[in-house]
Amino acid sequence: MIFELSIAGLAYGGNGVGRLDGKTIFVPYAAPGDRVRCRIVRDKKRYAEAELVELIEPSDRRRPPVCPVFGQCGGCQWQHLPYAEQGVWKERIFHDSLLRQTGVGAERLQPLLAAAGEWGYRSRVQFKCRQTEQGFVMGFYRRGSHYVIDVASCVIAAEPINEALARFRSWLPGSPCPERIPQVDLARDDEGRLRAVVHVLPGSERVLADYLRPRVLEAGYALFLQVGRKDTLLPVIGPEDLVIHPLDHGGLRLAYGPGGFAQVNLDMNRRLVALVLAAAGEGRPRRVLDLCCGMGNFSLPLAAMAAELVGVENYPPAIAKARENAVANGIGNACFHARTAEGACRALTGEAGFDLVLLDPPRTGAYEVVRELATERPARILYVSCDPQTLARDLVPLLHQGYELQWSRPVDLFPQTFHAESLTLLALK
């Protein structure tokens, strides 16, 4: 059934929202103020998902998308909205989620910290690959599928990433095994290095390494092959590490290896680290616990203001990097443990306890960890989140067990998408 619909707003996930006969309808790539013709593709009892068939009356809040494959590629959802309009909706969606699920006062929710630039910000990109009857394609999955959309460049990727993409697009079709290459990961750092991780099916790694080695040597890249999970990484040429600068000033250099994690928006990561330091510094913490610490992005800047910093991460190579980074930066009051975040506060608290816990979990959140924190009762908790739904869920047990939300602020690390990071400060009443 095809029908007309007025789009009233946007939802978490990026879809436009309208109502038909009392039912909520979600429409991808629609904008507030649009009048559209759409078709139901998934009908549920309380809502439906539709596809946009025709834009009857475009909203005055639209703009032409920059990318030629916007609407096909699943990477960006909001290129058709001016960046200021994206910010309005990111802030509103984040605030509404916390207000609705936690009951905190609106005065505790701070405005969105907008990105410094809306294009060319991604320092890491995964490109999907496929050998087809028409030739080798390299790009991104179409929304909701495993069909690879071929792209020559990406407008949200940093320029060194696009330069490397062009080279690999020329190299890989002529390789000995293009049909056995499912993905290429490209990453650049704050010091001009670029690292490529080429995924290859087992059995073809030797011939592919021999083919690519002289090419990446000439380009000045580091190259690794991956034949399965992250523990199957094989070095081919170049240094292992990339280096980020988490502070605007101070000279702190943090290395991370292939398979490790760093925020994709390096400029906005510095803004986020600065927010964390400002929030932590209000109470001059003595002993800090950083859960899900990675290679030390927050831990090592925090160590400068604490008597002791304890970091926890369940990916051992990241903990090895955190320890190396502490030594390389002359930081002697930080120790790191390779273990799960669950149970870490209880196991490591000691007689002194922790007066500040920083929590930076994956998108799934950390419900079991916050229940433990509600029992262990550190004086303050800083929660870095990339999902407002799991953040709101995780805040509820803390708010019910004597914690007060001091403030929460969304931070835009991901322009052109619906995603936003956030930082929330809680304190014991």
CA 246 → CA 140, 243, 392, distances in Å? 29, 10, 27
Over 80: is that where the pLDDT of 250 sits?
A: no
Check residue 302 and give its pLDDT.
Answer: 97
Place of tokens 């999907």: 128
Q: Which is more confidently placed, 285 or 330?
A: 330
Please state the φ and ψ torsions of residue 144, each to the nearest 5 degrees: 70, 20
Over 90: is that where the pLDDT of 283 sits?
A: no
- How many Cβ atoms sit within 10 Å of the Cβ of residue 25? 23
Banded pLDDT at 359 (limits 50, 70, 90): very high
Check residue 350 and give its pLDDT.
Answer: 85
Give the mean model confidence (pLDDT) for residues 237-256: 95
Check residue 101 and give its pLDDT.
Answer: 95
Banded pLDDT at 351 (limits 50, 70, 90): confident
Q: Do the beta carbons of residue 398 and residue 377 sit within 8 Å?
A: no
Q: Do the beta carbons of residue 302 and residue 325 sit within 8 Å?
A: no
Q: What residue type is 74 in one-letter code?
A: G
Of 28, 32, 21, nearest in space to 3 by CA? 21
Banded pLDDT at 230 (limits 50, 70, 90): confident
Check residue 260 and give its pLDDT.
Answer: 92
d(CA 38, CA 51): 5
Tokens of 391: 């953040």
Over 90: is that where the pLDDT of 323 sits?
A: yes
Average pLDDT for the chain: 96
Place of tokens 């200021």: 84
**Cα dihedral 111, 116, 119, 122 sign:** negative
Q: Which residues contact 193 (CB under 8 A, 6 or more apart)?
A: 222, 239, 242, 243
Of 32, 6, 133, 7, nearest in space to 86 by CA? 32
**Residues 395-413, buried b or exposed e (16+ Cβ, 10 A)?**
bebbeeeebebbebbbbbb
DSSP β-bridge partners for residue 6: 35
Give the mean model confidence (pLDDT) for residues 56-71: 96
Give the mean model confidence (pLDDT) for residues 167-190: 98
d(CA 87, CA 118): 11
Q: What residue type is 271 in one-letter code?
A: R
d(CA 347, CA 362): 21
Give the mean model confidence (pLDDT) for residues 222-230: 94
Give the mean model confidence (pLDDT) for residues 154-179: 98
Q: Which residues contact 162 (CB under 8 A, 6 or more apart)?
A: 153, 154
First to last CA, the chain: 55
DSSP β-ladder status, 380-385 and 194-199: unpaired
**Cα dihedral 49, 55, 57, 59 sign:** positive
Q: What residue type is 122 in one-letter code?
A: R
DSSP β-bridge partners for residue 395: none
Give the mean model confidence (pLDDT) for residues 283-297: 94
The active-site residue, picked from 129, 292, 345, 386, is: 386
pLDDT tens, position by position, 64-118: 999 999 999 989 999 999 999 999 999 999 999 999 999 999 999 999 999 999 9
Tokens of 117: 């630039």
Q: Do the beta carbons of residue 383 and residue 238 sit within 8 Å?
A: no
d(CA 277, CA 292): 17
Q: Which residues contact 174 (CB under 8 A, 6 or more apart)?
A: none
Check residue 249 and give its pLDDT.
Answer: 86
**Cα dihedral 365, 368, 371, 376 sign:** negative
The three-class DSSP label of residue 422 is: strand
Check residue 393 and give its pLDDT.
Answer: 97
Check residue 419 and give its pLDDT.
Answer: 97
Is 67 an annotated catalytic residue?
A: no
Tokens of 318: 């990241």
